[in-house]
Structure 1
Amino acid sequence: MIKHHPTTTILQRFVDGDLPVSVSIVVASHVEICLHCQQRSMQLTEQSAKALFQQASGQEILVQSSDLDDLDMTIDEISMMDSITSIDVTEDKMASETPLPKTVTEIEINGTRIALPRAMRSIGLKPWQGFGKISRARAVLDDGHLKMSLLHLAKGGGIPTHTHNGFEITLLLESSFHDDMGEYNAGDFIWLDGKHTHSPLTEQGCVCLTVSNDAIHFTQGGSQLLNPIGKFIY
């Protein structure tokens, strides 16, 4: 059962198209599998559409007859331009056409096949890299300082106690893990920042989709020696 969801503010920004690409992909992936957030997103979309319609209908538009004549001329000119340029555009498109990104519906990790959310299926992944029981495949996505990755923790794997120099969004795609704040299952959406300290651990292994804008920072014991590789994990 999904217990952790994006806030209403995040969903509203998602509906409005006002999120960075990588964050929008994670939210879209959660909405795809969460009936509660599907319904909430539909409500927010309807509310936004009504607000825009009311705003538009409240504006008076005065049209002069001469303006209509100019409009007719403009439409005729556009039609002529379309007929002239359509062939050129088609020829140019044929000359420069490139293959569409390959659609990948699932991936294999340690012999287990994992279905990918629709929002992830046209995004490439760099080769998997491993460190102990932690493996990461970075998404081929240019989103400024934000990094999106698939993260795999093997059975019995965990990440030592740490906090975050920036923020970290985690969408659990497969299985479960727990930390100091609770237990998380497939579909859970978790947004953490420097106010949170935790040590994730999974008994069965898990796969997550993550987005972060900075490295994690280990806070206890000998694990602090690992801080130079904090950027590897996220």
Structure 2
Amino acid sequence: MRTISHHIPEPILAAYVSGNLPEPFALVVAAHISLCEDCRAAAHAHEQMGGLVLEGTDSVAVSSDLKAALFAQLDDMPLEAPPSPARAIGPYPAPVAEYFTGKEPRWKSLGRGVKQSILMNNGTGSVRLLYIPPSMAMPDHSHGGLELTLVLQGSFSDSQGFYARGDVEVADSDVTHTPIAGPEAPCICLAATDASLRFNALVPRLLQPLFKI
């Protein structure tokens, strides 16, 4: 198994563990953690630290009426069987596989063999799967906000480095790049953004509203 070289930055990991990370980015972090022993251990350490903080926090007394009302609500809640845990499907880790049914995402063509499958698009951002043919270059672009890109299959390279399965690229408004898929296999990535990309060429800018990128 190859060594993962590009990890989740500590502030993002801490926000994920505390539940303060928007869902699109949280999905990327969860998928990376499922592949990366180092970040899985770091996330566990953050959880342990959070538990110690809670243990050291003074308790707050509540009235007997409030306590009785809470227990009554719990008694009235129907018991449901816990859902079956999701499983990895092909190159897709379990957290990603939860977002589509069947054995493959629902791909839509972006042209020249590139495809995408939007898993989520809401007020906090969007997250999508990208399928890029071998050696294909994506349009040169910068970012209106934060972008996390996790490689699930194959590889890509750009001005920031080389990324293969399990690696995460963190790009913000200071980064302009042209990702190029590796020659060995189609590159499949999970990409989350909280703002639109900024394409430098005219054609991608014209198609941007249609493809919701």
Give the corresponding residue for 1:42: 44
Name the CA distance, whole Å, in 1 between partners of 2:44 and 2:202.
Answer: 45
Deviation string 1:31-57 (CA, Å, 9 cap, x unpaired) is 11111101111111111110110123x
Q: CA RMSD in A?
A: 3.3
1:181 paired with 2:132, answer no
- The 1:156–1:60 alpha-carbon spacing in structure 2 relative to 1, beyond 3 Å, is closer
For residue 78 of structure 1, report the CA deviation from its aligned partner: 8.0
TM-score under structure 1 length normalisation: 0.73
Which stretch has the larger CA shift, 12-21 or 118-127?
118-127
Please say if residues 121 and 127 of structure 2, whose CA atoms lie closer than 8 Å, have aligned partners that are also in contact: no
Structure 1 or 2: larger helix share?
A: 1
% same residue: 23
For residue 103 of structure 1, report the CA deviation from its aligned partner: 5.5
Name the CA distance, whole Å, in 2 between partners of 1:9 and 1:157.
Answer: 32
Candidates 194, 206, 213, aligned match of 1:213: 194
Name the CA distance, whole Å, in 1 between partners of 2:203 and 2:129.
Answer: 24
Name the CA distance, whole Å, in 1 between partners of 2:51 and 2:86.
Answer: 31
- Structure possessing the higher radius of gyration over alpha carbons: 1
- The 1:135–1:101 alpha-carbon spacing in structure 2 relative to 1, beyond 3 Å, is farther
Deviation string 1:140-178 (CA, Å, 9 cap, x unpaired) is x35315111110001221212211123221011111111
1:22-33 equivalences in 2 (<5 Å): 22-33=24-35
TM-score under structure 2 length normalisation: 0.80
Name the CA distance, whole Å, in 2 between partners of 1:32 and 1:105.
Answer: 10
Structure 1: where are the runs of 5+ without partners? 95-99, 107-113
Helix, strand or coil at the partner of 2:198: strand
For residue 23 of structure 1, report the CA deviation from its aligned partner: 1.1
Give the corresponding residue for 2:137: 158
- The 1:78–1:181 alpha-carbon spacing in structure 2 relative to 1, beyond 3 Å, is closer
Give the corresponding residue for 1:109: none
1:1-234 equivalences in 2 (<5 Å): 1-56=3-58, 86=76, 105-106=88-89, 114-124=90-100, 127-130=106-109, 131-139=111-119, 141=120, 143-202=122-181, 203-204=183-184, 205-219=186-200, 223-231=201-209, 232=211, 234=213
Deviation string 1:193-231 (CA, Å, 9 cap, x unpaired) is 220011111123210011112332222xxx333212235
For residue 115 of structure 1, report the CA deviation from its aligned partner: 2.9
Please say if residues 36 and 166 of structure 2, whose CA atoms lie closer than 8 Å, have aligned partners that are also in contact: yes
Deviation string 1:96-154 (CA, Å, 9 cap, x unpaired) is xxxx7995742xxxxxxx33212122213773111113110111x35315111110001
Deviation string 1:18-74 (CA, Å, 9 cap, x unpaired) is 111121111011111111101111111111110110123xx586x9xxx8xx68xx7
Name the CA distance, whole Å, in 1 between partners of 2:8 and 2:159.
Answer: 20
Work out the number of aligned pairs and report it.
202
Greater relative contact order (Cα 8 A, min sep 6): structure 1 or 2? 2
- The 1:101–1:124 alpha-carbon spacing in structure 2 relative to 1, beyond 3 Å, is farther
